[in-house]
A and B are shown apart, each in its own frame.
Chain A
Amino acid sequence: MNPNDVILRSVTKVAIVIILTFSIYLFFGGHHNPGGGFIGGLSVAAGLVLLYLAFDIETVRKNIPVDFKKVAGLGVLLAVLTGMTSIFAGKPFLNQTFGYFNLPVFGKTELATAVLFDVGVALAVIGTAVTIILSISEDG
């Protein structure tokens, strides 16, 4: 059976941009507004699941050639390593620091090491969620 899902695919192509943009917005808004690594990662995963629904798994895998199990592992590793850098600086584990920088486009911006920890969380969430979806969708 080969259903004609041209509408679904066209809408997906537009919607995926909006979903991924929104998830990045959620991710970076986490410090001052509701959002953060967990929900940001989950909405990226939701976007990926939409892609899997609209196209088939093989097509998406060809275009996003990532092993999501490793993404999850790398995410947690990044989070732990961010916590560990403070050990080498002589501070307690999981200590964080921040500073203000003048960036070309954004102007004066606050950058905190907590964001790196959040990147780790987001990667772990994306990796786990997509791995679950992919493993249960494969027929044994």
Chain B
Amino acid sequence: MNNLVIWPIIIPLIAGLILILFRKNILFQRLLSILAIIGIGVVSVSLMSQIKGNGIQTLQAGGWAPPYGISIVADMFSAILLLSSSIVALFCLIYSFRSIGEKREKHYFYPFYLFLITGVNGSFLTGDIFNLFVCFEVMLISSYVLISLGGTKLQLRESIKYILINVLSSSLFLVAIAYLYAMLGTLNFAHLSLRVAEAGQDGLLTTVSLLFLIVFGMKAALFLFFWLPGAYSAPPTAIAAVFAALLTKVGIYALFRTFTLVFYHKPEVTHFIIGILGALTMLLGAIGAIAYWDIKKILTYNVIVGVGFIIAGLASQTPNGIMGSLYYLIHDILIKALIFLLGGAIIVITGTSKLKEISGLIRNHPYLGWMFFIAALSLAGIPPLSGFLGKVFITRGTFEAGYYWLGGIGLLTSLMVLFSIMKIFMNVFWGETALSKEMEKGTTKGLMFPIGCLTALTITLGLGAEGIHEYVQIAADGLVNPSLYIEAVMAGAK
């Protein structure tokens, strides 16, 4: 029992609830939400050190023994995701102070931002599949509000699509849980894993696992990503950045949890299909990224490519592939927020997102330009930066597993991603300076600080990969050996 495990869920929840009571006091709202997110970061750092020292930390909510109550489980995988998501959430929050506007701030922007974080953290920490569903809903309902908050025409149109898709996939999730409960009679992840191992993963269970693949694939934008480009280009930059950094990652986390812990007995069926979907996601995402001449569209398609790449590591099911996925997941959370914030800053300056109407920003905005350049190289996986190590390990893992085509497509799409992001860089920052200082539509004052911090982080993460290697290794070991997780959770039963 360790009550620290629950804090990442209740800190943002309580802070959000308090903020509902003080709607008009914007200064207090900003202060408390920053404090809450820093608090989550501190808790997740101390969780990481506890897990490193004493193994996986669990909490049985209400004191009920494991398969009967809800287990809250923090293994290294969740703790790493908690830390990186709270860092990104902090910088997107700082970015939103300047960019979100007073009208949105007074209409409960900060409470819903914190509820979104509550849902994300809850999904990372829960050890129970139905509780995962509940945390998904907490996250999704907050995201419905954030996507439509402000009520512009574009936001309303895209939020209807987004809500329809998510209501559909949530009901499929519920149906899948019902099938699973009817067959195995339990909802706890650890107990599910034991039951599946006892019963053997027969055709019926594999079918249910594919239903979960569809559900989580829809949330994570794995192949079923048709809803994503529209939905992520509608809300204001700070919100879109948080969505790009966190929401799809929760779907990826759920895929990793279910397919490394519960349904890992028939990799020739499930993991092969995951591999095919990953390859298609990468290819289609990359084609989308190079096809458009619109900053927002290019960035959203890059989110999709990242999802496919991380999933390729899961499909390989080798220690190297999983470790690569972890490295890439951390990098991807940071870099997706960073490029969305950068893209948002460009749009603030120029007032348009069409590449052909912008040129020569480097003369007046050298820092923005070079930070975009670093982010672009990092996104493509150029060696000293953070994207490199993940790509190497994932490619190695897929080759070891014999999926040469998957690794090959990964490398090919890296080139396409580099091309798409360099297209933005060359068009926006090089060329004749079309926009003099006086003609600019907005100022980047206050926006540069979070962007600079995230850029510094992606450089440190690349150079200091050795420093986090130990933690990533522990997380990867936990994912490769499900017995560690099961023992830690079931220890409370004795």
B116 within 8 A of A: no
Other-chain contact of B20, A73, A84, A87 (Cβ < 8 Å): A73
DSSP class of A's interface residues: helix, strand, loop or mixed? Answer: helix
Q: Is A12 an interface residue (CB 8 A)?
A: no
Complex CA distance for A84 and B366, rounded to whole angstroms: 50
Q: Which of these, A70, A74, A93, contacts B6 with CB under 8 Å?
A: A93
* Chain A contacts for B18, CB-based, 8 A: 77
Can you name 17 A-B pairs with beta carbons within 8 Å?
A: A70-B20, A73-B17, A73-B20, A74-B17, A80-B14, A81-B14, A84-B10, A87-B3, A87-B6, A91-B63, A92-B62, A93-B6, A93-B10, A93-B61, A93-B62, A94-B62, A96-B62
Is B291 an interface position by the 8 A CB rule?
no
4 tightest A-B CB contacts, nearest first: A73-B20, A77-B17, A93-B6, A94-B62
> When chains A and B are docked, how far (Å) is the Cα of A77 from the Cα of B13?
8
Residues of B within 8 A of A (CB): 1, 3, 6, 10, 13-14, 17-18, 20-21, 59-63, 72
A91-116 contacts to B (CB < 8 Å): 91-96
* Residues in chain B near residue A83, CB distance under 8 A: 10
State the CA gap A80–B18 with chains docked (Å): 12
How far, in angstroms, from A93 to B63 measured CA to CA in the complex? Answer: 8
Cβ A70 vs Cβ B17 within 8 A: no
Residues of A whose CB lies within 8 Å of any CB of B are 69-70, 72-74, 76-77, 80-81, 83-84, 87, 91-96
Minimum Cβ distance to chain B for residue A140 (Å): 11
Q: Which residue of B lies closest to A75 (CB)?
A: B17
19 further contact pairs, Cβ within 8 A, besides A73-B17, A77-B14, A87-B3: A69-B20, A73-B20, A74-B17, A77-B17, A80-B10, A80-B13, A80-B17, A81-B14, A83-B10, A84-B10, A92-B60, A92-B61, A92-B63, A93-B6, A93-B59, A93-B72, A94-B61, A94-B62, A95-B63
In the complex the two chains form, what is the Cα distance from A69 to B62 in whole Å?
A: 29
A127: nearest chain-B partner, CB-CB: B20
What is the chain A residue whose CB lies nearest that of B13?
A80
- Tell me the bound Cα distance from A91 to B1 in angstroms: 9
CA A83 to CA B61, docked complex, whole Å: 9
Query: When the two chains form their complex, are residues A92 and B59 in contact, meaning their CB atoms are under 8 A apart?
Result: yes
Interface centre among A77, A83, A91, A96 (most CB of B within 10 A): A77
Q: Is there an interface contact between A92 and B1, defined as CB atoms closer than 8 Å? A: yes
B191 to chain A, nearest CB (A): 18
* Alpha-carbon distance between A123 and B224 when the two chains are bound, in angstroms: 39
Q: Which residue of chain A lies nearest to B60 when distances are taken between CB atoms in the complex?
A: A92
Measured between alpha carbons, how far is A76 from B72 in the docked complex, in Å?
20
C-alpha gap A94/B62 in the complex (Å): 5
A94 to B1, CA, bound (A): 13
Q: Is the CB of B21 within 8 A of A73?
A: yes
Contacts of A94 in B (CB 8 A): 61-62
CB distance from B125 to the nearest CB of A (A): 11
Could you tell me the distance between the alpha carbons of A93 and B72 in the complex, rounded to whole angstroms? 10
Bound: A81/B13 CA distance, A: 11
Flag if B21 contacts A74 (CB, 8 Å).
yes
B473 to chain A, nearest CB (A): 30
